Structure 1
Amino acid sequence: MNTIESLKWRYAVKKFDNHKLLSKEQINILKEAFNLTATSYGLQPLKLLVISNKEIQKELVAHSWNQPQVLEASHLLVICIPKTYLKNEVEAYFDLVQKIRNTPIEIIKPFKEFLTAEIDKKSQEELLSWNKNQAYLALGNLLTVCALEKIDACPMEGFIPEKYDEVLGLSEKNLTSTLVLPVGFRANDDYMKDLKKVRKNIEDVVLEFN
């Protein structure tokens, strides 16, 4: 399939085939895709949890408005962001820039100072909102890669982050769960499987200025 055909093939799966599991190679593709996601300033204020422990998945169903996909899926992906975001994250980023690119400190310094000041002047509430936006970028990227790789998925906001954080012990890691993405393979009897995709006409959603 080409890219557009793959995106047409994709839908939010309502029922997974719980006998089919993603291969290690497929999971590695999703992990790599997550790591390559574009983020603001390239700071990557995100973590991805890859859960294949069925006991944990079963426990999380109750905190996901009882959506069965959480358990039925081959793997459950949880995108997390820092509860508290500090300027040392910026310092760590520029240390990595120097390590990978061997960029002289005199070239890095002005941008580093600018970015550090930007982080300093924002409240933790503002930083949390900003980082949530990065999580949505990652989710969109993962959904596209899933479609291209013929991996089924169901993006979810319908869950209780505080309960996920508790079950997964995220608070002690300074993380909070933001988005959930069960991945696997659609069941043959998923009622959504053969329904036509409902989308507006391109002319209704795209404005062109020539």
Structure 2
Amino acid sequence: MSFDPAALSAQRYTTKVYDPSRQIPEAQLQQLLTVLRNSPSSVNSQPWHFFVIGSEAGKKTIEPALTELNRPRAGNASHVVVFTVRTDFTDAHLVRLLEQESRDGRFVNEDARKAQDAGRRFFVEYNRQRDLLGWESRQAYIALGTLLFGAASLGIDATPIEGFDRAALDAALGLEQKGLTSVVLAALGYRSADDFNAPLPKSRLPQEEVVTFL
């Protein structure tokens, strides 16, 4: 059977009510983590760290930082992913990226290695002088989109969550001490039979209003 991304995009939706009795199988969870790691990022910067919360204790830890509307969604979902990014783009991270790319066979010669390092450092400094956190956060949102589509391909429901107190969530997870800050969350699991949003038709503006061909 051929893969139809347009059909998949029409099928997926934002889950409002989760079935707390259903858990994502470990094999599929690992697939989603691979999807996250493989997400594209500007100059392969990978500025992120993903906290995957599946335990009841973990969910209770983050619950106070969530808006009241989002607490049952996170609490009843199988897992919650907290997308975080670095508060500073350190030289150590730049070196680690380059070493990993080298181990993975990305460079045909030393000149290619040096060019990659120089190019990435240029873009990091360029964004550091403007809005480093904004740049890093945009990479996290790319990963979020990748995760949402990956989850849908496995029949797993998802909910992107922006309704939370960043300072409170950072404190709950000890992110400041780790040099990280929270950006967005995603609940993952399986819809409840009572989810009012599941049977509703998808509503999007028509293509001619949002797409321009030049």
Instruction: State whether TM-score is above 0.5.
Output: yes
1:163-185 deviations in whole A, cap 9, x for unaligned? Answer: 11111122221111111001000
Residue 79 of structure 1 aligns with an amino acid whose one-letter code is F
Q: SS state of the match for residue 131, structure 2?
A: helix
Inter-CA distance 195–117: structure 2 relative to 1 (3 Å threshold): closer
Residue 207 of structure 1 aligns with an amino acid whose one-letter code is T
Q: Which stretches of structure 1, 4 residues or more, deviate above 3 A after TM superposition?
A: 120-125
Inter-CA distance 206–105: structure 2 relative to 1 (3 Å threshold): same
Q: What's 2:41 paired with?
A: 39
Q: Does 1:52 align with 2:48?
A: no
After superposition, where does 1:1-210 map in structure 2 within 5 Å? 2-66=4-68, 67=70, 68-101=72-105, 103=107, 104-120=109-125, 122-123=127-128, 126-209=131-214
Moved more, 196-205 or 101-110: 101-110
Contiguous gaps of at least 5 residues in structure 1: none
**Could you tell me the percent identity over the aligned residues?**
27
Alpha-carbon distance in 1 for matches of 2:183, 2:166:
7
1:75-130 deviations in whole A, cap 9, x for unaligned? Answer: 01111101111233222222222222173323321332243244345437721111
Alpha-carbon distance in 1 for matches of 2:132, 2:165:
21
**CA drift at 1:2:** 3.2
Residue 101 of structure 1 aligns with an amino acid whose one-letter code is G
TM-score (norm 2): 0.90
* Equivalent residues of 1:86, 1:119 under 8 A apart: no
Residue 176 of structure 2 aligns with an amino acid whose one-letter code is S
Alpha-carbon distance in 2 for matches of 1:198, 1:96:
43
Inter-CA distance 187–44: structure 2 relative to 1 (3 Å threshold): same
TM-score (norm 1): 0.92
**CA drift at 1:64:** 1.1
* Equivalent residues of 1:6, 1:148 under 8 A apart: yes
* Equivalent residues of 1:85, 1:124 under 8 A apart: no
Inter-CA distance 19–166: structure 2 relative to 1 (3 Å threshold): same
Aligned-CA RMSD value: 1.8
